[in-house]
Amino acid sequence: MASEQSVADKAAVQTIYVDHHHWLRAWMRRRLGCAHQAEDLAQDTFVHVLGNAAPSAIEEPRAFLTTIAQRVLVSFWRRRSLEQAWLDALAAQPPAFAPSAEDYAIVRQAVESIDRQLDGLPLRVKQAFLLNRLEGLTHQVIATELGVSIASVERYVRQAYLHLLAGSAALTP
């Protein structure tokens, strides 16, 4: 039974790919303005489809692909924004303090890992956590910056820690 489902799922993904890849690539190109980037992100979208629990149960492929593609785009723009912030910070440093290409790659991977781990949290929770842990800001300063109470900042930071702990517990055997 499980192998029959697996065969059906593979066939479903193949059908969705053949029937909708060109459309998805054009959809991405309209949003990005770059055919090469659109191709890459369309492929990323189909990788997510492969990870879907039951591709053979997809009734509206374009709606399903649009939802996944929007998430892929948000992640792409978020990564691009993080990378630009990093490049801006590097540009502000004296040349003697410029990191090596290896250091840059390590930091980029670390930032992307943190971003993935915080995925799914509300924006304010992420902001409070990152301001506290990466910027070293106090709860009082974060509360003022976000326009919320100190208790809210404490709750946000605690929520982020719990989210990270739950994620790391899922990774341990």
Name the band, by pLDDT with cuts 50, 70 and 90, for residue 3. low
- Residue 64: count of CB within 10 angstroms of its CB: 19
In this structure, is residue 22 part of a structural domain?
A: yes
In this structure, is residue 111 part of a structural domain?
A: no
In this structure, is residue 112 part of a structural domain?
A: no
* Residue-number span of the structural domain to which 43 is assigned: 1-94
The pLDDT tens digits for 41-68 are: 999 898 888 877 677 778 898 999 999 9
* Mean pLDDT rounded to a whole number for the chain: 84
In this structure, is residue 106 part of a structural domain?
A: no
**What is this structure's pTM?**
0.58
Q: Which of 26, 59, 94 is the last residue of a domain?
A: 94
pLDDT at position 53? 63
Measure the CA–CA gap between 43 and 27, rounded to whole angstroms: 13
In this structure, is residue 109 part of a structural domain?
A: no
Residue 74's CATH number: 1.10.1740
Contacts of residue 45, defined as CB under 8 A and 6 or more positions apart, other chains included, come to 24, 28, 65, 68, 69, 72
pLDDT at position 38? 93
Claim to verify: residue 12 and residue 82 sit in the same structural domain: yes
The pLDDT tens digits for 20-37 are: 999 999 999 999 999 999
Counting the structural domains of the chain, the total is 2
Claim to verify: residue 59 and residue 27 sit in the same structural domain: yes
